[in-house]
Amino acid sequence: MTYAGILEVSPQWVAASLDKVHVLDVRTRVETDEEPARIESAQLIPLNELRDRLEEVPRDLPVMTLCRSGKRSVMAFDILRKQGWQEVANIKGGLLAWYAEGLPYETSGEE
């Protein structure tokens, strides 16, 4: 589904495709400290650090951007597309939608 030029995918689709996609979580460190839940295997790069850490984002898998509600992950989608990533999508509704749909996540007290 495309909304205003942003390709969005449902949390259910991502959950069923975790072995074929790369999840990029762009929540801030404060957010992840306060709410340590995360999608299994998700890479955490806060949005404000993304431009400086682009080389850490893989190009060999489709990248699914994620934040708490889906707003900042749209900005991450835009950054990646402008920097040449072709296969990028935003997870519609972010972690809030993920939780609402009862999809699996893990919690960790790690940094």
Dist. CA 31–CA 56, nearest whole Å:
21
pLDDT of residue 35: 84
Residue 17 per-residue DSSP state: T
25-71 pLDDT, tens per residue? 999 999 988 888 889 899 999 999 999 999 999 999 999 999 999 89
**Within the chain, where are the H helices?**
11-16, 29-34, 47-50, 72-82, 94-100
Cβ neighbours of residue 58 closer than 8 Å, sequence gap 6 or more:
22
Q: Hey, what CATH topology would domain 2-101 get?
A: Oxidized Rhodanese; domain 1 (3.40.250)
- Annotated catalytic residues are 67
What is the pTM (predicted TM-score) of this model? 0.91
Query: Where do the domains of the chain lie?
Result: 2-101
First to last CA, the chain: 34
